[in-house]
């Protein structure tokens, strides 16, 4: 679970499998929890504070260690930190701090070579004074602290590059956004679950003020403003028997009025973010046979939009 190279952190500690220099006597005695006997408890070092901060920490960052060791007869002690995997109990890292001052709070940082994988750990402090006395551990002076390392958040996916403005159409229809645009993702598609209702159109993200044009010749059925919903919008009754709905137009940008006849490609409004909207975009719907008339219903506009951006009918 954790990979760390710790040999470089502990000069003089040799591998048990490869031989080498004999470890100093302090290496093993630092990690014993016993003392020199009950009669010496009063003069043994005590861990008053041990805390990893921050915790949790996001890998590969490492926390700082704040610690305080009290001692009645020594101004300095030798200290080592051991990091244990909380699930397996395995030792995954050691940090030899050498001598630290007693009776005051000090801050130490792990060496840069230390690496802790995401997981939950126990940080354990081992101390030895000049007479070989080790920590006196109690219920509130355990010399232990918890540490949680979290995995870093996945890198965000880059936003899709805006599509360039479509070329002038030679077919029957014109793409409704006359500028660079991006098809919105799943939440902006037809049929997306919006809690109490389903999304009835396709969202097209574009810069504020980008012209919105009539995809086909027809007559304006309605223009209005809905503060808690569609914002400023236009309804176009197309000559193909279908109706088209353009919502969240920029406030005051509507360039047509009710019952006005318009040609294909005529400007209707501009991309905005009015009404209930989280950013500039055109909400585009296609209804057949008419917009919210008896027996009518919206259809998925994406196939038509895909065809129109290629200059085809749809």
CATH class of 7-150: mainly beta
Q: Give pLDDT tens digits for 4-52.
A: 433 333 333 333 334 443 334 444 445 444 444 445 678 999 999 999 9
Contact assessment for residue 91 and residue 84, using Cβ atoms and an 8 Å cutoff: yes
pLDDT surpassing 50 at residue 79: yes
Give the per-residue pLDDT at 213: 97
What proportion of the chain, given as a percentage, has pLDDT over 70?
84
Give the per-residue pLDDT at 261: 97
What are the φ/ψ torsions at residue 219 (nearest 5 degrees)? Answer: -135, 140
- Closest by CA to 1, choosing from 118, 115, 156, is 118
Q: Give pLDDT tens digits for 119-165.
A: 999 999 999 999 999 999 999 999 999 999 999 988 777 777 777 76
Contact assessment for residue 236 and residue 268, using Cβ atoms and an 8 Å cutoff: yes
CATH class of 181-309: mainly beta
Contact assessment for residue 178 and residue 168, using Cβ atoms and an 8 Å cutoff: no
Give the per-residue pLDDT at 196: 85
Count of Cβ atoms closer than 10 Å to residue 101 Cβ:
14
Give the per-residue pLDDT at 169: 52
Higher local confidence (pLDDT), 156 or 102: 102
Q: Give pLDDT tens digits for 259-271.
A: 999 999 999 999 9
DSSP-assigned letter for residue 40 = G
Both tokens of residue 88? 């397996």
pLDDT surpassing 70 at residue 84: yes
* Average pLDDT for 272-281: 95
Residues of the chain with CATH 2.70.70.10: 181-309
Give the per-residue pLDDT at 20: 40
DSSP-assigned letter for residue 127 = E
Q: Give pLDDT tens digits for 213-239.
A: 999 999 999 999 999 999 999 999 999
The set of residues, in sequence order, having a beta carbon less than 8 Å from that of 174 and lying 6+ positions away, is 168, 213, 214, 215, 216, 264, 265, 308
Residues of the chain with CATH 2.60.40.1930: 7-150
Predicted TM-score (pTM) of the model is: 0.50
């Amino acid at each position: 679970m954790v990979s760390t190279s710790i040999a470089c952190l502990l000069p003089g500690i040799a591998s048990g499998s490869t031989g080498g220099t004999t470890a100093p006597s302090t290496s093993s005695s630092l990690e014993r929890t016993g003392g020199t006997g009950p009669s010496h408890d009063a003069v043994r070092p005590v861990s008053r504070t041990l805390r990893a901060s921050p915790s949790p920490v996001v890998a590969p960052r490492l926390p700082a260690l704040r610690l305080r060791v009290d001692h009645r007869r020594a101004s300095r002690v030798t200290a080592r930190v051991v990091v244990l995997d909380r699930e397996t109990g395995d030792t995954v890292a050691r940090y030899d701090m050498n001598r630290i001052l007693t009776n005051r709070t000090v801050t130490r940082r792990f060496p840069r070579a230390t690496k802790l994988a995401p997981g939950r750990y126990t940080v354990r402090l081992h101390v030895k004074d000049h007479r070989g006395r080790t920590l006196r551990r109690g219920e509130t002076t355990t010399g232990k602290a918890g540490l949680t390392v979290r995995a870093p958040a996945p890198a965000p996916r880059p936003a899709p590059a805006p599509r360039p403005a479509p070329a002038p159409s030679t077919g029957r229809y014109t793409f409704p956004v006359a500028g660079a645009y991006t098809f919105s993702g799943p939440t902006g598609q037809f049929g997306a679950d919006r809690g109490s209702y389903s999304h009835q159109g396709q969202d097209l993200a574009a810069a504020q003020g980008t012209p919105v044009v009539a995809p086909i010749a027809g007559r304006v059925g309605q223009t209005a403003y809905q503060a808690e919903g569609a914002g400023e919008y236009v309804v176009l009754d197309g000559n193909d028997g279908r109706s088209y709905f353009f919502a969240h137009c920029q406030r005051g940008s509507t360039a047509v009025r009710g019952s006005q006849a318009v040609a294909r490609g005529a400007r209707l409004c501009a991309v905005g973010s009015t009404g209930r909207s989280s950013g500039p975009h055109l909400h585009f719907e296609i209804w057949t046979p008419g917009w919210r008339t008896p027996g009518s219903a919206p259809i998925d506009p994406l196939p038509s939009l895909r065809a129109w951006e290629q200059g085809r009918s749809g």
